Structure 1
Amino acid sequence: MQDLEAELERARELDVATLADAIETIGFECTRCGACCKSEADDPHTATVFPDEVRDVQAAAGAETDRDWRDVARPMPYGLDEDGAGETFEWALQADSCGDCTFYREDDDGTGACSVHGSRPLICQTYPFSVALGGTSQPMGEAVDEAGMVRAHECEGLGRDISRADAEELAGALKARAIRELEEAIDVREAYAPANPEPGATVVHDSEGAKRPDGSAYPN
């Protein structure tokens, strides 16, 4: 069995109650500071979003305005040159001209909010936590706390009381994210084929195959 498949089995066997215990031990309450939605040290915000999550955000926007793929996601910059050309293996939520998540909103008093909160990607639902499994992503730097399989990343909301119900909801989303990330990695590996892009082109390889930045299939 390949390493990713072994890790996927481990993710599927994660116990939500045990994850919730760890989250309670660390403690967390969102303060709506917006730090996880903003650029950091002049680096644009790079939250991973999967193809189906892009479509979920597109659908959630229907009541306001029609959004195309590039309104929601952009090629993850890692692996691309300074002009954005090359091949990469992930999508990132779209960023605005300041580098912040394009869906981030801030009130006059500095309180942050997500304009697509009900359809936000799993990585946003679970921040600042991750699970210690190979093949899963570790958002925004090194862990600053951990309990069991759960790692906590820098966030001013850490250490605050959290209800058991909220801890279990967060734990369920954390398990779902770990499974989804590993499934995506395996599907990307299986779907990958060299794209041989023309000079200056950008190709994103995801679980559905090679795509252009607008989400359309890249020609073989």
Structure 2
Amino acid sequence: MTLESELAAARELDVGEIAEAVHRIGFECTRCGHCCRGMGEEHTATVFPDEIRAVQASEEYDWRDVARPMPFGLADDDPSGDTFEWALQTDVCGDCTFYDADGEACSIYDDRPLLCETYPFSITLGEDDVGTSEPMGSVVDTDGPVRAHECEGLGRDITREEAEELAATLKERAIRELEEAIAVRDNYEPVDADGVVVHDSEGQKRPDGTSLDGSR
């Protein structure tokens, strides 16, 4: 499937069907924090440019307080190279910097990215196993287009209203991730520049969120 056909399929997703799957599987967040912590690896939750700006606006954060270049393809000991998209910033332990371990809560909960908002679920769109990016944890349950990933909150009671709200957000995420992927592809330009270059849906940026020409 092309990205455009995947996007068309995502726009045709039945929210009621997604909600039925979520309701059957069941889910309630236990505030265990596993999805916010690296758990021995670096936390890499994808965050898009406008999501970064939403978090910035909420607390007047610097871009680098919110996000960092997605580390895939970048060597730890070589601060240069190209990568795609952004990850939420992490602390020295590799956990999401916005996770409050003492309060067992997310400090940007109202502005958290769609990936975080829909955890531990993802969407698949057919025989080629395409769809939204998958969160941490192996797949432990599937129902139609819905995948549930390993999480201790699965199997708990969820109201139909809550399931429908989550289903609508899952569809929104599926659409949004594909729109972003198309924009990244269409805006991609090879560059010859020193340091790290991040290719996102808006073009090429430095790690501080500025474009290569220095504009925001």
Match of 1:190 in 2: 186
Report if aligned partners of 2:124, 2:131 keep a CA contact under 8 Å in 1.
Answer: no
**Residue 98 (1) aligns with residue 119 (2):** no
Report if aligned partners of 1:146, 1:152 keep a CA contact under 8 Å in 2.
Answer: yes
Match of 1:87 in 2: 82
Match of 1:128 in 2: 120
Aligned partner of 2:166 among 170, 174, 178: 170
Report if aligned partners of 2:123, 2:131 keep a CA contact under 8 Å in 1.
Answer: no
Which consecutive unaligned segments of at least 5 residues does structure 2 have? none
Match of 1:48 in 2: 46
Match of 1:205 in 2: 199
Match of 1:143 in 2: 139
Across the two proteins, how many residue pairs are aligned to each other?
A: 209
Match of 2:69 in 1: 75
Structure 2 Cα separation of the partners of residues 75 and 169 of structure 1: 31
Structure 2 Cα separation of the partners of residues 135 and 182 of structure 1: 8
Residue 6 of structure 1 aligns with an amino acid whose one-letter code is: S
Residue 197 of structure 2 aligns with an amino acid whose one-letter code is: V
Structure 2 Cα separation of the partners of residues 106 and 33 of structure 1: 9
Superposed displacement of residue 197, structure 1: 2.1
Superposed displacement of residue 185, structure 1: 0.2
Percentage of pairs with the same residue: 65
1:161 is paired with a residue of what secondary structure? coil
Structure 1 Cα separation of the partners of residues 89 and 156 of structure 2: 30
Residue 123 of structure 2 aligns with an amino acid whose one-letter code is: V
Residue 67 of structure 2 aligns with an amino acid whose one-letter code is: A
Structure 2 Cα separation of the partners of residues 178 and 188 of structure 1: 16
Report if aligned partners of 1:195, 1:218 keep a CA contact under 8 Å in 2.
Answer: no
Which consecutive unaligned segments of at least 5 residues does structure 1 have? none
Residue 158 of structure 1 aligns with an amino acid whose one-letter code is: L
1:204 is paired with a residue of what secondary structure? strand
1:20 is paired with a residue of what secondary structure? helix
1:78 is paired with a residue of what secondary structure? coil
**Scaled by the length of structure 2, what TM-score is found?**
0.93
Structure 1 ranges of 4+ moved more than 6 A: none
Per-residue deviation, residues 134-179 of structure 1 (Å, max 9, x unmatched):
2520111431111111001111000111001110111011000000
Report if aligned partners of 1:135, 1:185 keep a CA contact under 8 Å in 2.
Answer: no
Match of 1:180 in 2: 176
Structure 2 Cα separation of the partners of residues 151 and 94 of structure 1: 26
1:203 is paired with a residue of what secondary structure? strand
Structure 1 Cα separation of the partners of residues 187 and 56 of structure 2: 24
**Root mean square deviation of aligned Cα:** 1.4
Residue 121 of structure 1 aligns with an amino acid whose one-letter code is: P
1:81 is paired with a residue of what secondary structure? coil
1:101 is paired with a residue of what secondary structure? coil
Per-residue deviation, residues 28-58 of structure 1 (Å, max 9, x unmatched):
00001110000122x1111000000000001
1:87 is paired with a residue of what secondary structure? strand
| Cα gap change, 1:82 to 1:106, in 2 (>3 Å) | closer
Match of 2:10 in 1: 11
